[in-house]
Amino acid sequence: MNYQWYPGHMTKARREMEADIRLIDLVIELVDARMPLSSQNPDIDVMAAGRGRLILLNKADLADPAVNRQWCGYFEGKGYQALLINAKSGEGLRSIQGKVQAACREKIERDRRRGIRNRPVRAMVAGIPNVGKSTFINSYAGKAVTKTGNRPGVTKGKQWIRPQKDLELLDTPGILWPKFEDQAVGMRLAFIGSINDDLLVKEEVALDLISFLSETYPDALTERYGAPGGEPLPMLEAIGGMRKCYKKGGEVDLEKTAGMLLDDFRNGRLGRISLERPKKGNGL
């Protein structure tokens, strides 16, 4: 399957992101814990230069716990503050305050030297589509929202919310675009549902997912469907047969089976699966 994908509106998104970054001290960058590098955009390094960075590995509940720990170590080894979270349940969010302080230590020190005390850290949330930005903003700041927009020095129309005393957050997240030029990245984005399924041939995505799972999580399909191992196409057919996904004439409905498989994977019903692991040469 060819995973080339050219999202529109990205120039506008970039311009908005660059304008917003001027207002802030810290970028809270959300990535998908199942594929932290493939769900990251390296342009953020340039755009966020001189700002603090906190990397939140979201959807940690869907990813392999052992690999999650490796990724945290990977980012920390590169000098970033990193945290595993589940924005949906709120797990991990309590540790954010400490991480924000650590990520902005230099700025806080600088303020102190200039006699500025208790100026809140200003931050924005950023990430590629579907990574959980809105869910995060709602669960982290939802209840304690104090709108503090439209004051001098703040771009008109920008709203700030204050999830805690020493942190102000732009209420709209910065949208980054994925690195869709890379086939392997495109494939992972398709697996997690970050490329509109209408742009893809579902059966082919499902076949690629079966190949990946057979290699890296060989028990996942057997445990869920009782499907024996084998080549991807016969496996997809077997899964369809076992789940009684038939067309009118009695043959297996591969499209429907593929849709079900992808849906099961995306909702964690095949287990906690990581699509990417840190390895040497996996540099940012």
Residues near ligand G4P (CB under 6 A)? 58-59, 61-62, 86-88, 127, 129-135
The least distance separating ligand G4P from the CB of residue 207, rounded to whole angstroms, comes to 23
The least distance separating ligand G4P from the CB of residue 75, rounded to whole angstroms, comes to 17
Nearer to ligand G4P, 266 or 277 (CB): 266
Nearer to ligand G4P, 99 or 107 (CB): 99
What is the distance, to the nearest Å, from the Cα of residue 107 to the centroid of all Cα atoms in its chain? 27
Tokens of 281: 């040469």
Contacts of 249 (CB under 8 A, 6+ apart): none
d(CA 102, CA 104): 5
Measured CA angle at 43 (ends 39, 45), to 5 deg: 100
The least distance separating ligand G4P from the CB of residue 231, rounded to whole angstroms, comes to 31
The least distance separating ligand G4P from the CB of residue 248, rounded to whole angstroms, comes to 30
Q: Which residue is nearest to ligand G4P (CB)?
A: 132
Nearer to ligand G4P, 134 or 183 (CB): 134
The least distance separating ligand G4P from the CB of residue 234, rounded to whole angstroms, comes to 31
What is the distance, to the nearest Å, from the Cα of residue 61 to the centroid of all Cα atoms in its chain? 12
Which amino acid does the sequence have at 275?
L
DSSP characters for 139-167? HHHSTT-----S-TTS-TT--EEEEETTE
Nearer to ligand G4P, 64 or 237 (CB): 64
Nearer to ligand G4P, 129 or 278 (CB): 129
The least distance separating ligand G4P from the CB of residue 57, rounded to whole angstroms, comes to 9
**With helix as H, strand as E and coil as C, how does 53-82 read?**
EEEEEECHHHCCHHHHHHHHHHHHHCCCEE
Taking the chain, what is the end-to-end CA distance rounded to the nearest angstrom?
Answer: 26
Tokens of 115: 């006699």
Residue 69 sits at φ, ψ, to 5 deg, of: -65, -40
Nearer to ligand G4P, 59 or 188 (CB): 59
d(CA 175, CA 274): 23
Nearer to ligand G4P, 140 or 225 (CB): 140
The least distance separating ligand G4P from the CB of residue 138, rounded to whole angstroms, comes to 8
Residue among 262, 260, 269, 214 nearest 240 (CA): 260
Nearer to ligand G4P, 101 or 130 (CB): 130
Taking CA atoms, 118 is separated from 121, 136, 144, in Å, by 9, 25, 19
